[in-house]
Amino acid sequence: MFNIWNNLSLRARLLLPMAAMVVGALLLGGLAVRTVSPEQFENENADSARSARLVANALNAALAAAGEPQQILDAFAGGLGSDEAIAFVPAGSRPHRTGTLPPHGSIPAWFATLVQVPQFGSASPIRIGTAHVGDIVFVPDLSADLFEKWLGFLVIVASSSALMLLAALTAYFTTGTALRPLEQLGAGLTRMQDGNYDAIIPQAGPPEIRKSCAEANQLAATLKRLSQDNRDLLRKIVAVQDDERRELARELHDEMGPLLFAIRANATALFEAGAEGPPEPGSPAHGVLSAAEALQRVNRRVLEGLSPLYIAELGLLESVQALLRDARSQAPGLRLSSRLDPRLDGLDGLMSQTAYRFVQEGVTNVLRHARATTMEISTAFEAGQVRIEITDDGVGLPEDKPFGRGLTGMHERVRALDGTLELVREQRQTVVRCRLPLDQHTKD
């Protein structure tokens, strides 16, 4: 029952108690009528019953003093008639009325039953001498009184129902004027939860709700400022990290590369000075040359991971194509297709680095974990942003941890540029989608 009440709307919570109050008012009114009416009937007819007794006493006195009592009795009985509440009933005859008359035709039977109209009357004996000749009978007609109470009951019910209806309509429209601003406030808070802080919540409704809307707008402005500060900080962190990686890559390239080349060249020269032909597998000279070649490959891989040095020279488009060629060589059985927009070369340094890193991380994940047979990379410029998608038909990422370390770091880079990163499963394919806004991130 409590759960049902919690699921009711505000209007229903207001209208249901009012409906219960109307029903309660009807029940209480009926109970009051049932309790008070019998006593009222008796009080209203007490004088008439007393008059009937006085008439009987006076008639008995007149008959006792009269010389022709029977003639006087006949004249009295004829003068009363048969339709009055007070009547003369001769001895041995049945009274012309034994109770109240039937209720008025417009009064429903349930109301007469509810009121419990009492069946009361009185009979005073009339005597001539010692002989009982009849009775003065008082049997009141309560139809008029019953009709009067029915009208009173209708007035009470109608007035209370009208007041309750007016109160219900007032509550309905009042809650409507309050609920609309509350709905707008809720929609504004939902937009803020989604990261949209620009839409202003209208300040309407009662003062309390207007104040809440104003405070929510102030909160949105504060969150917008903090979000912008956070993105600026992330952008600076990403830029610093890229600079450090670039510097480290440059030092490895400038220092480690020549040293490895020198080791390899000197090992080759030493072997050629004392032997003829290439070194045999398993020999010390072959081991030194193999280690030097392995170090060179590791050095190139580390350099590529730290910073793609050739983006500035080749451009983003050619760099991504080189990355895809390398992926094809690593996975010959993978059907890899691409749809790359030539305008990628127009992105600035930070945007270009982020786009390349996104493609690199996505391709690496597919090669290592997806067990896919097909992969497609597509880019498009639309609605003031660049969209990059990587789609594969592999097993997808685990539901409990869809974002690994690489994609988590990628997500931070994308956020630093006010972009969005999403991972979805569509038509049995895994789609990693990145959107980056183009504002102030294109070359002049």
Give pLDDT tens digits for 85-94: 677 777 777 6
CA distances to 83, 95, 175, 314 from 92, in Å: 20, 10, 74, 135
Per-residue model confidence as pLDDT tens digits over 97-123: 544 444 445 677 777 777 766 666 667
Nearest CA to 317 out of 348, 351, 352 is that of: 352
pLDDT of residue 442: 57
Q: How far apart are CA 52 and CA 126, in angstroms?
A: 12
Torsion on CA atoms 257, 262, 267, 272, rounded to nearest 10? 130
Q: How far is CA 3 from the centre of its chain?
A: 15
CA distances to 232, 259, 389, 398 from 247, in Å: 22, 18, 30, 36
pLDDT of residue 204: 81
CA distances to 144, 146, 147, 265 from 105, in Å: 11, 11, 9, 127
Are 355 and 436 in contact, with CB atoms under 8 Å apart? yes
CA angle 286, 291, 297 (to 5 degrees): 130
pLDDT of residue 102: 47
Nearest CA to 422 out of 362, 379, 375 is that of: 362
Residues 6+ apart with CB under 8 A from 221: 197
Q: In terms of DSSP bridges, do strands 429-437 and 131-138 run parallel, antiparallel, or are they unpaired? A: unpaired
pLDDT of residue 66: 77
Q: How far apart are CA 250 and CA 297, in angstroms?
A: 16
Region(s) of the chain under CATH 3.30.565.10: 314-444
Tokens of 45: 């007819």
Q: How far apart are CA 242 and CA 87, in angstroms?
A: 120
**What's 314-444's CATH class?**
alpha beta
pLDDT of residue 99: 46
Tell the residue number behind the tokens 């006087």, with chain if given. Answer: 72
**Burial class, 235, CB count within 10 angstroms (exposed 0-12 / middle 13-18 / buried 19+):** middle
Tell the residue number behind the tokens 């400022």, with chain if given. Answer: 225
Are 69 and 63 in contact, with CB atoms under 8 Å apart? yes
Q: How far apart are CA 96 and CA 134, in angstroms?
A: 13
Q: How far apart are CA 411 and CA 415, in angstroms?
A: 6
pLDDT of residue 98: 43
Q: In terms of DSSP bridges, do strands 385-392 and 429-437 run parallel, antiparallel, or are they unpaired? A: antiparallel
**Burial class, 379, CB count within 10 angstroms (exposed 0-12 / middle 13-18 / buried 19+):** buried
pLDDT of residue 178: 74
Q: Which residues of the chain have pLDDT under 70?
A: 1-3, 5-8, 10-11, 13-14, 29, 33-34, 36-48, 81-85, 94-106, 116-122, 141-142, 253, 270-286, 303-310, 312, 398-405, 440-444
